[in-house]
Amino acid sequence: MNSYDVPFLKISTNFSIPWDPEVMTESFAEIVGKENSPFSNAAGTPHWQTYNIGISFARNFYINFKKECAEVANQLIELQNTLRKDTTTPKSKLYDIFLKLKIQHSNVNLIRIQSGINVLPHYDSTRNYAINIGLKNSNSCVTYITTDGSTDAYWDKPQYSYITYDGDVYIVAVKNAHAVKTLVEKKDNSNRYLMTYNIHDRFL
């Protein structure tokens, strides 16, 4: 595979988000077992949807945190404008996707991986790409990703891997099979938080 098609790409290292996700989410309920698709409670209150593979997505996030979603989206737009002016940006399919993207506040969300938990191999069925932004304890895990969407014999396949640090911004082909291995223990209380921006092919 040539570098144009690598399934992840770091596009920034200094994204600044001033709020603490643990304070923001301390009142979130935990909903487990709704595995087939995103589930949001009808009351509109924010909550976690925790999947058995080991990852949690915030639900009803945008309708309760519009200001914070706007802050993230506006910084992404600023990053787009900066990169469009940079003549040294490498040729990359993922760069092309990011630069052409029309950023929408409502596509911003929050992810949590609990301390000491591995995320099992999977692919995202509701989005093709994601812009993931290191928010808190981001480097407590290593992300592994392959070049296709199959989870069969996952760890026997060639892997790409990377570690996200707080403030890093990656665009990732989450339609490909990927997994996360923890670098900490449960007792460390180092829950990992990422902001994430959802990208589906229909928006490209």
pLDDT for res 8:
96
Whole-number average pLDDT of the chain: 93
Whether 44 is in a domain gets the answer no
User: What is the chain written as a DSSP string?
Assistant: --GGG-SEEEEES-----S-HHHHTTT-EEEE---SS----TT---EEEE-TTS-EEEESHHHH-HHHHHHHHHHHHHHHHHHHH-TTPPP-HHHHHHHH----GGGEEEEEE-TTPPEEEE--SS-SEEEEEEEESGGGEEEEE-SSS--TTGGGS--EEE---TT-EEEE-TTS-EEEEESS-GGG---EEEEEEEE-GGG-
In the chain, the amino acid numbered 198 is N
Q: What is the pTM of this model?
A: 0.95
Q: How many domains does one find in the chain?
A: 1
Per residue in 132-180, pLDDT (tens digit) is 999 999 999 999 999 999 999 999 999 999 999 999 999 999 999 999 9
CATH of the domain at 146: 2.60.120.10
Whether 148 is in a domain gets the answer yes
What are the pLDDT tens digits along the chain (204 aa)?
A: 555 678 999 999 999 999 999 999 999 999 986 666 788 889 999 999 999 888 999 999 999 999 999 999 999 999 999 999 988 877 889 999 999 999 999 999 999 999 999 999 999 989 999 999 999 999 999 999 999 999 999 999 999 999 999 999 999 999 999 999 999 999 999 999 999 999 998 777
Compute the CA torsion angle 107, 112, 118, 120 (nearest 10 deg): -30
pLDDT for res 9:
95
Whether 25 is in a domain gets the answer yes
pLDDT for res 143:
98
pLDDT for res 2:
56
Whether 113 is in a domain gets the answer yes
Whether 36 is in a domain gets the answer no
Here the tokens at position 70 are: 């706007």
Whether 111 is in a domain gets the answer yes
Whether 39 is in a domain gets the answer no
The domain of 87 spans 3-29+65-203
Whether 94 is in a domain gets the answer yes
